[in-house]
Structure 1
Amino acid sequence: MVSLKKIYTITGLVLLIIILGITAFTTWYTVDESDQAVILTFGKVEEGITEPGLHFKLPWPIQSVEKVSKETFSLQFGNGGKEGKSKDFPEETKMITGDEYIVLADLVVQWKITDPEKYLYNAQNPKEILYDATSASLRSIIGNSSIDNALTSGKADIEADVRDLLSSLIEKYDIGISILAVKLQDVELPNEEVRKAFTDVTDARETADTKKNEANKYVNQRMNEVKGEEAAIKLKAEGEKAARLEKARGDVAVFNKLYEEYRKNPDITKERLVLETLEQVLPSAQIYIMNDDGNTMKYFPIQPLEKELPKENELPEEKKEGSEKK
């Protein structure tokens, strides 16, 4: 029959073996390169271990270790289809733009854990908080955007604004998460009829823009032509101005010369000016100079006689005939 002392001894050995086993298995731990660890002493966070490798600690239940990943996570908000077809959009992805259009928007948020202690103990479900903050940020930005920006060229601005707003919310919540990137997957209209109507409106707007551009091009072309004509007229006017100034300077110089001559011989200058003026005013008139002494006026027709005189080196016809006979 087994004695009570032997039972106590065996029980003590078993407990000792268990304690030693627990101590042996809980005093060391490994951290992978993709993980980061937090050490707890009686449930209180002592320090964070981020270096990979083998580490030692006090045995359980004095100290324990919590591990979280250092990898980048992706949060999918919404479930968009492909090739412009909406597919199984949850109700939360339906949003109203600033100009009161309904759109379906989904996006991907890339994030990582930067503070394991806050991630583990500042919130009960950090992922759910992140999802709700993503929804609130996207709705806020879409609600302040127009339908054109949301569907066309404004997606990059929307992504940047969502990232800034989401980052500020996560920082305020202080849950140990950092936002790395936000990428809009799809922003679509709710059904085919609305998409077709919006496409028609967009096509009409593009046609109107094309017509406006053509009209602006024609206006610019005509403006350039008018400016060219204006410049030509100005150049011609400047040329005429310069010519008239030079002519006026020449006339002044001629007048000054005449005035000098007039001062020297007033009578001769007067007569010459009268004769030159008559030649200019009556270029075809015949001028006669006569001496009227009160007696019978004598007139000698010099010019008709000058016309009848033979030209130099010309002989009368009789002399020509005589010379030919000789």
Structure 2
Amino acid sequence: MSLKRIYSLIGILVGVIVLAIVLFSSWYTVDESDQAVILTFGKAEDAIQEPGLHFKMPWPIQSVEKLSKETYSLQFGYEEKDGKVKEHPNDTKMITGDENIVLADLVVQWKITNPKKYLFNSDNPKELLYDTTSASLRSIIGSSKIDDALTSGKGEIEAKVRDLLASLIKKYDLGISILAVKLQDVELPNKDVRSAFTNVTDARETMNTKINEAKKYRNKTLNESQGEKDAIISKAEGDKAARIQTARGDVALFNKLFEQYKTNPEITKQRLVLETLEQVLPNAEIYIMKDEGNTLKYFPIKPIDQESAKPSQEGSDNQ
């Protein structure tokens, strides 16, 4: 075989290889769960997030870096792998605002929102995220009381850590977003301290229970007293109205008697005297008496009234 023919075969082989490289490196696919960044001579272009088949310049002119759209979880203070949990106590030990030591670990959920920045704005964005999480958690725990960190203040601490961490990540421009922060465990460093704190917590809960019971009793007593007060006021207002009506009736009666008195003063005077005697001495017998000389004569009123009342009563019975 001649040398010329050998060169020709080598040229054809090289051409086939180059053509194969061009063909296989000029297109790529992006899955629905991925996003891609095109690098042109090492310079990053805008990210491509639409799934499907895409074309580019062949290698080595352009290359593709693919990143996932999934939500990642950063485990701070511990590491869970193959069902086993490995703790990192040196990372989780921190001081609270009232100078107590606690162990706190958490989970940060995050995702890549700008692949270009994620790839090129930091050498190791995951490590920077871990350090930023540590700084944010220590800052918030350091300004919180131990009671809040161990009991009812966890939700507020989580929110503050999330806000601080998100602001730092935005400042560092890492191309990621913080979705959620969840405290896993916040506990005291040893058994004796935990036991003492538990006793304090139990005492505080007992105190709150007693306070709530006292408030309940106070409210009940106040309601009962209010009811009694309202009843007394209502009765007093009723008595007031009744007395006013009685007074008005007495005034009306007095006015009628006064009219009669002006017409027949003597008769009205005698009538009032008799009616008063009947009220004061209901069982007494009434006589009309007149003195003439030495002989005392009287005229019995009550027996006559009784005799006059009998015929009328008998007549009503016969009917």
TM-score by length of 2: 0.81
Residue 297 of structure 2 aligns to a residue in which SS?
A: coil
Counterpart in the other structure of 2:254:
255
Counterpart in the other structure of 1:152:
151
1:116, CA displacement in angstroms?
0.8
Counterpart in the other structure of 2:75:
76
Counterpart in the other structure of 1:61:
60
What is the CA deviation profile of residues 116-135 of structure 1, one whole-angstrom value per residue up to 9, with x for unaligned ones?
A: 11111112211122112211
CA contact (8 A) 2:290 2:297 kept: no
Across the aligned residues of Structure 1 and Structure 2, the Cα RMSD in angstroms comes to: 3.3
* Aligned positions of 1:231-250 closer than 5 A: 231-250=230-249
Paired with 1:147 and 1:47, the residues of 2 have a C-alpha distance of 47
Counterpart in the other structure of 1:299:
296
Counterpart in the other structure of 1:130:
129
What is the CA deviation profile of residues 228-265 of structure 1, one whole-angstrom value per residue up to 9, with x for unaligned ones?
A: 22122112212211221121111111101101101111
CA contact (8 A) 2:28 2:54 kept: yes
* Aligned positions of 1:99-118 closer than 5 A: 99-118=98-117
Q: What letter is aligned with 2:236?
A: A
Counterpart in the other structure of 1:36:
35
Counterpart in the other structure of 2:312:
none
Residue 51 of structure 1 aligns to a residue in which SS?
A: coil
Paired with 2:193 and 2:79, the residues of 1 have a C-alpha distance of 17
Bigger mean CA deviation after superposition, 273-282 or 152-161 = 273-282
Counterpart in the other structure of 2:313:
none
1:98, CA displacement in angstroms?
3.0
1:21, CA displacement in angstroms?
4.9
Bigger mean CA deviation after superposition, 2-11 or 211-220 = 2-11
CA contact (8 A) 2:117 2:173 kept: yes
1:204, CA displacement in angstroms?
0.6
Change in Cα spacing, 1:18 to 1:275, as seen in structure 2 (3 Å) is closer
1:62, CA displacement in angstroms?
1.8
Residue 107 of structure 1 aligns to a residue in which SS?
A: strand
1:49, CA displacement in angstroms?
2.4
Percent of matched pairs sharing the same residue: 69
Q: Which runs of 5+ in 2 are unaligned?
A: 305-319
TM-score by length of 1: 0.79
- The structure richer in strand per residue is 2
CA contact (8 A) 1:118 1:175 kept: yes
CA contact (8 A) 1:115 1:176 kept: yes
Q: Which runs of 5+ in 1 are unaligned?
A: 308-326
Paired with 1:87 and 1:13, the residues of 2 have a C-alpha distance of 58
Counterpart in the other structure of 1:193:
192
Change in Cα spacing, 1:110 to 1:292, as seen in structure 2 (3 Å) is same
Paired with 1:249 and 1:105, the residues of 2 have a C-alpha distance of 83
Bigger mean CA deviation after superposition, 71-80 or 149-158 = 149-158
1:161, CA displacement in angstroms?
2.6
Paired with 2:272 and 2:287, the residues of 1 have a C-alpha distance of 17
1:15, CA displacement in angstroms?
5.6
Counterpart in the other structure of 2:229:
230
Paired with 1:153 and 1:195, the residues of 2 have a C-alpha distance of 17
Larger radius of gyration: 1
Residue 300 of structure 1 aligns to a residue in which SS?
A: strand
Change in Cα spacing, 1:287 to 1:35, as seen in structure 2 (3 Å) is closer
1:172 equivalent to 2:175? Answer no
CA contact (8 A) 1:89 1:104 kept: no
Counterpart in the other structure of 1:273:
272
Q: What letter is aligned with 2:157?
A: I
CA contact (8 A) 2:45 2:116 kept: no
Counterpart in the other structure of 1:321:
none
